[in-house]
Amino acid sequence: MITGFPSPAQGYEQKGIDFNSILIKHPSATVTMKIESSNYTCMGIYNGDILIIDRAKRLTPNSLVVYESEGHFVLGRVYNIRKTAEDTIITGAVTHVIHTVKEI
């Protein structure tokens, strides 16, 4: 038995925010990486931030990318990566940075 009046807002509920549809354009080619370094603060990327990396995104000269060099993952712009380094493998382009606001 249902009692009472229906909500005046019934039928006008908003859908929740789907972060996957906002942050991920190529689901099968997207990976995440947690930053465990404070070397990238000049880029606005801090220790503990999470990167969304799209391996299918077309790169431009100014793309921020994750690349592998000498067995380590490194962040850099495409124009800064040494073209002579044959052991450099670009993993993908950084599309978003998820930053947690730290309490003071």
Question: Average pLDDT in the 18-36 region?
Answer: 95
Give the Cα separation of 49 and 39 in Å (integer).
12
Of 73 and 7, the one with more pLDDT: 73
Of 29 and 81, the one with more pLDDT: 29
Q: What would the 3-class secondary structure string for 18-77 be?
A: CHHHHHCCCHHHEEEEECCCCCCHHHCCCCCCEEEEECCCCCCCCCEEEEEECCEEEEEE
| pLDDT given at position 84 | 42
| pLDDT given at position 86 | 64
**Is the whole-model pTM more than 0.85?**
no
Give the Cα separation of 81 and 75 in Å (integer).
10
The secondary element (H helix, E strand) that includes residue 41 is none
Residue 2 has pLDDT above 70, yes or no: no
Q: What's the mean per-residue pLDDT of the chain?
A: 86
Q: Domains in the chain, please, with CATH? A: 26-98 (2.10.109.10)
| pLDDT given at position 100 | 86
